[in-house]
Structure 1
Amino acid sequence: MIHMKWSISKQFRTIMFLLLTCCLVGCGAQKGKSSQFEEDHGLIVGFSQIGAESAWRTCNTRSVQDAAAAQGVQLVYDNAEQKQENQIKAIRSFIAYQVDVIVFVPIVTDGWDNVLQEARDAGIPVLVTDRKIEVADPSLYAGFIGTDSLKEGRNAGQFVLDTFTEKRKRFEQTKEPITIVELFGTEGSSVANGRAEGFREVLASHPEFQIIYSKSGDFLRSKGYELAVEFLDMYEDIDVIFSHNDGMTLGAIEAMEERGIRPGKDIVIVTIDAQQAAIDALREGKVNCVIECNPKTGPEIIRLAERLAAGQYIPRLQYVHEEVFYETDDLSLIEPRGY
């Protein structure tokens, strides 16, 4: 149940908005065009993003900012720079200012109970997006909107399963496994956990598939490159690379090509996000399957925020639509991704 907030004057709200904006910018936050204070002092949403580590993340932030601007919603934006402590500090700043709704992308799943209790005590509803959280009391936040990471992992596993049909048949005679390298996302994030779980779920009853290497690259291209250098030194026979995002995939491809290894041919590659660079790599035959993780959630986030501010019900769990792109598709039909 949403508690009523105490009334505050327009003058106080204006002063607090300006102080909060200055504080967040001073701490390294990036203020989007939708963060500018407007004369009508309408709906105010505090939005804490985890960072700007990839083209996907930048597109996700821009989607929220543009949607807020289109609806005349004032958006107080904070870039947490991949640190949970920065997010908690930002959320507490939103509470102090008494924004109408708090929206945040949690870096990791746990550690949110105290600050969300503070938001509840202040009567401010909270919407979680992109990554899920685990709290002792689920009613501390109103709902979640984002991608289905478990389904993304299942789609990746099914592609791998279907791709190696003939080699799977030979396994009964040769006992030669199909070896898989996994480039894991940020440790402790629901997205990485879901993708890993879904992938393993599909392959669990097929002993011919063996994950021989799984390490976190924090969704960063530079770390994807570093991990690829490491596993290419460790193993000569790799059949599959399953990467939790395109950034790490592109870094791994760079390391492979430096060694004369043909990505997509010598090693099958399945990746998640579907940013433009990954679709280009799919067209070039360097990637075999790209699973979309849709970043353009801004319009729906703002719509849900408006409903929460009005005291209306929102779905507890809402997933966005996503596609899967295969090497066998007519790739000319894929529209520009915008990220």
Structure 2
Amino acid sequence: MIHDKNRIRKLFRIIIFTILTSCLVGCGAQKKSFSQAEDSGIIVGFSQIGAESAWRTCNTRSVQDAAAERGVQLVYANAEQKQENQIKALRSFIAYQVDVIAFIPIVTDGWDNVLQEARDAGIPVLVTDRKIDVADQSLYAGFIGTDSLKEGRDAGLFILNKFKDKRERFAETNEYINIVELFGTEGSSVAIGRAEGFREVLKGHPEFRIVYSKSGDFLRSKGYELAVEFLGMYDDIDAIFSHNDGMSLGAIEAIEERGLRPGTDIVIVTIDAQQAAIDALRAGKVNCVIECNPKTGPEIIKLAERLAAGENIPRLQYVHEEVFYETDDLSLIEPRGY
């Protein structure tokens, strides 16, 4: 009798899974036939924030490929940059009894209620890429992703070293080193962490001042728009700290349109390490590229499998990331794949 009940429940979930993958927003959900699904493992609901960049597309593909390789049924939902879409997707995952929920939160706040619903349903939740702020930390099982605080620190350390000579002359010249910050999405943990880490390193160095800091939502088009704005406001920008490559590439377009040389007239530090940013580094248009590793799919799926088996996972797990400098042998950098 117990065996029959489990079989019926499994068949119910397979039917619901097929319906869900056709209803939720987002291409690329891993679909299989009924016979294949019956022999497969767990079902994971994965909510992605969007497809705004090559980095984000690579991140999604990494999760989808890892799920397919492990025989995991993946229900993929694209939130299209809206938190309300993510919350709807998470509630759909709960309703259809997925084994594990993995999601990339657009912003840090506003998740308590839906995560409580997941816990009440007995579904563990894995947070990835961006962190969340909840009153009860036990509402989610763990986090895996980028160390945004370290990324900001790495950017600050490069700026300190790059302007060493000008810093040492500051007491005599009183010439400030003026920095523009292209901020990520307001309220996102990665933007908050990168800004905090950057300022932490520059603290105690009065020769640096951030004269302009605005959100470009990690979008290339907005990076261009912001650059047009700050270039019209200031004639003495020394450096740009951009929270992602998309905004950096947009800013480079605006800088060149103004007749300036990115990487020479204005030092540029960027985060992500997309192929386009590495190419710009090789061309001398960018001075430092800090990697934000998007290829987290294999680890996400392994952690989901552990959660589905009732195991505990690390509360905090960071992925390996590198920093690429203008002084490196750039011929050694392998193709990025995104």
Query: TM-score interval w.r.t. the shorter chain?
Result: over 0.9
Q: Give me the whole-angstrom Cα distance separating, in 2, the residues matched to 1:300 and 1:95.
A: 22
- Tell me which residue corresponds to 1:68: 67
Give SS of 1:39's match. Answer: helix
- Which whole-Å CA distance do the structure 1 matches of 2:308 and 2:10 have between them? 17
Matched, 1:84 2:80: no
Report deviation, 1:169.
1.2
Distance 1:17 1:74 in 2: 8
The equivalent of 1:270 in structure 2 is 269
Q: CA deviation at 1:31?
A: 3.0
Q: Is the 8 A contact 1:10 1:41 kept in 2?
A: no
Offset of residue 259 of structure 1? 1.1
Q: CA deviation at 1:29?
A: 2.1
In the TM superposition, what whole-angstrom CA distance separates every residue of 1:188-223 from its partner, at most 9, and x where no partner exists? 000000000000000011000000000000000000
Residue 20 (structure 1) aligns with: 20
- Secondary structure of 1:36's aligned partner: coil
Does the 8 Å CA contact 1:35/1:77 hold for their aligned counterparts? no
Distance 2:105 2:334 in 1: 30
Which position in structure 2 is the counterpart of 1:306? 305
Asked whether 1:36 is paired with 2:32, we answer yes
Q: How far off is 1:16 after superposition?
A: 1.3
Distance 1:269 1:302 in 2: 35
Give the CA deviation at 1:10.
Answer: 2.7
Structure 1 position 9, deviation (Å): 1.8
Match for residue 3 of structure 1? Answer: none
Q: Any gaps of 5 or more consecutive residues in structure 1?
A: 1-5
Contact 2:287 2:326 in 1 (8 A): yes
Residue 259 of structure 2 corresponds to: 260
The DSSP-based 3-state class of the residue aligned with 1:199 is helix
| Number of residue pairs aligned between Structure 1 and Structure 2 | 330
> 1:39 Cα deviation (Å)?
3.5
Query: Contact 1:101 / 1:309 at 8 angstroms: preserved in 2?
Result: yes
Please tell me whether the aligned partners of residues 153 and 201 of structure 2 are also in contact (alpha carbons under 8 angstroms): yes
TM-score (norm 2): 0.96
Deviations 1:74-133 (A, max 9, x none): 000000000000000000000001000000000000000000000000000000000000
Q: CA deviation at 1:21?
A: 1.8
How far the C-alpha of 1:19 sits from its partner, in A, is 2.2
Q: Deviations over 1:118-174 (max 9, x none)?
A: 000000000000000000000000000001000000000000000111100111011
d(CA) in 2 for partners of 1:119, 1:87? 13
Percent identity, aligned pairs only? Answer: 82
Q: Is the 8 A contact 2:292 2:321 kept in 1?
A: yes
Counterpart-to-counterpart distance in 1, 2:288 and 2:28: 36
Mapped to 2, the partners of 1:298 and 1:10 lie a distance apart of: 25
Kindly state the Cα deviation for residue 41 of structure 1 after the two structures are TM-superposed: 4.6
Q: Is the 8 A contact 1:53 1:220 kept in 2?
A: yes
Tell me the SS of whatever aligns to 1:57.
helix
d(CA) in 2 for partners of 1:319 and 1:14?
Answer: 33
C-alpha RMSD of the superposition: 1.1
Correspondence list, 1:61-140, <5 A? 61-140=60-139
Gaps of 5+ in 2: none
